Amino acid sequence: MKIAIASDHGGFEYKEQLIPFLLGLGYEVTDMGCYSSDSIDYSDYAFPLAQAVAEGKVEKGIVICGTGIGVSICANKVKGVRCALCTDPLMAKLTREHNDSNVLALGGRIIGIELAKEIASVWLSTPFSNDARHIRRIDKISEYEK
């Protein structure tokens, strides 16, 4: 699976640690920035990542900022993106099963790196349930986006 990862300065350290972790799990990872801990605007990196997911250039994306809130708001502005901010593995599992989320948001100043790795691993390995009730709800989101 081809995934993209991006962060602002608040998520830079986690991004740098998640990339080799994800590569070790067998994922193809595209680093979409940022490339240092210098202060930048999260929107400059979250929007391009979300657009790459929406356009099918990558299957899924991970965005990281200090809280995960800013990047998740940005990602969810892009039509076709369902970004979920997760703080534990159960949230990651359920957002994949129920919402078919295609972007994961993490807070680099909220959770520890080992928990971030576990959340990302669960999120990436959990399939969508394809239950009719979940499909119906996702279809309503898609209709609203039109």
Catalytic residues: 65, 98
Secondary structure in 3-state letters for 28-85: EEEECCCCCCCCCCCHHHHHHHHHHHHCCCCCEEEEEECCCHHHHHHHCCCCCCCEEE
- Residue count (the chain): 146
* Maximal C-alpha separation, the chain: 46
Distances (CA, A) of 8 to 26, 65, 83, 144: 25, 5, 16, 29
Residue 142's beta-bridge partner residues? none
